[in-house]
């Protein structure tokens, strides 16, 4: 699994793991940005089948609706339906 960087800021292991899992199931990364360099807080938006989210193991995250927020750096992974 290739480590993810946004503006030279590395994503934490839980974010790397979840994005890798989502991409493996045909989710498409549509946006990424650095929210706070000091805290290494990142933001990602992916599109895909929302029904798949119930099957995903999101260890290390708090889930709010279609957003996963990592417990260590508060990085956000937002999921949108590929049909919207």
At 21-78, the pLDDT tens digits run 999 999 999 999 999 999 999 999 999 999 888 888 789 999 998 999 999 999 999 9
Can you give the pLDDT at residue 7? 94
State the pTM of this model: 0.92
Residue 31 near residue 43, CB atoms below 8 Å = yes
Phi/psi zone of residue 69: left (φ > 0), alpha (ψ -120 to 50 degrees), beta? beta
Domain boundaries, the chain: 5-81
């Amino acid at each position: 699994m290739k480590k993810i960087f946004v503006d030279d800021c590395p994503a934490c292991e839980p974010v790397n793991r979840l994005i890798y899992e989502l991409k493996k199931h045909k989710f498409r990364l549509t946006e990424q940005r650095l929210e706070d360099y000091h805290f290494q807080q990142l933001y990602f938006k992916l599109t895909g089948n929302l029904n798949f989210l119930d099957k995903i193991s999101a260890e290390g995250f708090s889930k709010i609706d279609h957003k996963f927020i990592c417990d260590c750096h508060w990085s956000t992974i937002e999921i949108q339906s590929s049909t919207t």
